[in-house]
Amino acid sequence: MANIVQFENVGLRYGTGPETLSDVSFTLTAGAFYFLTGASGAGKTSLLKLLYLAQRPSRGIIRLFGEDAVTLPRKRLPGFRRRIGVVFQDFRLVPHLSAYDNIALPLRVAGIPESDIEGPVREMLAWVGLAERANAKPPTLSGGEQQRIAIARAIIARPEILVADEPTGNVDPDMAERLLHLFGSLNRLGTTVVVATHDFHLLNRIPNAQMMRIDNGRLSDPTGSLRFPPRAPDDSE
């Protein structure tokens, strides 16, 4: 399997402050499932922002889909970003749009004709168990329901990578299990999944998940599998 993400000695500094991330090096294999753990303030969200191209590193190399993402021309950014679905910590749903229209947003932005949008949106609503709430606006939905709309929106355009920042932070344990089950199903369909979480109970729910741990802006890789991922026999890279 190919390397879909590669970080080499990446550092991130906000303004003139100290480095928030230092010497971060790892490789993600296409189709794998990763948990990113670490204490509050350790740098999880910052690392994810680099991954979904919302932030440029202060130093180091980031390769995404086999290309240098740091020097990527600005006009190619939207195309790259479309290949990465993001579930934000605070959902970021558009409050005055219905659940249906929130989920449809990425397809509309990509210029997909309206006639090709309804089928996939209805399918996503059913997949996250919210077919009956298509017309509801986010403020009238529970935290878990909003989270599922955010997940549906993140994956409707079939991204190659799904990044989720504390997706279970606002839901009860049953809902956390259900959300993780959705991520597991998506991963089995071939999507590379990266989930940042504080919730250690979740870590053994995905049997083959790999662990990334961040402490004070430094990534630890106890098994070495991030730096030297196992290669499949047919791996030609």
- Residues in the site for ligand ATP, rule: CB under 6 A? 14, 20, 38, 40-46
Structure tokens at 7: 């970080």
User: What are the tokens at 41?
Assistant: 């303030």
Of 112, 22, 16, 7, the closest CA to residue 53 belongs to: 7
Nearer to ligand ATP, 40 or 208 (CB): 40
Q: How far is the CB of 164 from ligand ATP (least distance, A)?
A: 12
**For residue 66, how many other CB atoms are within 10 A of its CB?**
11
User: Smaller CB distance to ligand ATP: residue 12 or 107?
Assistant: 12
Dihedral of alpha carbons 26, 217, 61, 167, sign: positive
Q: How far apart are CA 93 and CA 170, in angstroms?
A: 15
Cβ atoms within 10 Å of 176's Cβ, excluding its own: 21
* 117 close to 108: Cβ distance less than 8 angstroms: yes
Q: 48 by DSSP, 3-state: which?
A: helix
Rank residues 188 and 201 by Cβ distance to ligand ATP and give the closer one. 201
Complex with ligand ATP: residue 45 or 210, whichever CB lies closer:
45
Distance CA 22, CA 43 (A): 10
Cβ distance to ligand ATP smaller for residue 42 or 154: 42
| Distance between CA atoms of residues 162 and 232, nearest Å | 22
Least separation in angstroms between CB 218 and ligand ATP: 12
Q: Least distance in Å: CB of 19 to ligand ATP?
A: 10
Shortest Cβ distance from residue 86 to ligand ATP (Å)?
14
Residue 15 vs 119, nearer CB to ligand ATP: 15
- We find the least distance from the C-beta atom of residue 25 to ligand ATP, in angstroms, to be 17
Q: How far is the CB of 146 from ligand ATP (least distance, A)?
A: 18
User: Cα-atom radius of gyration of the chain, to the nearest Å?
Assistant: 18
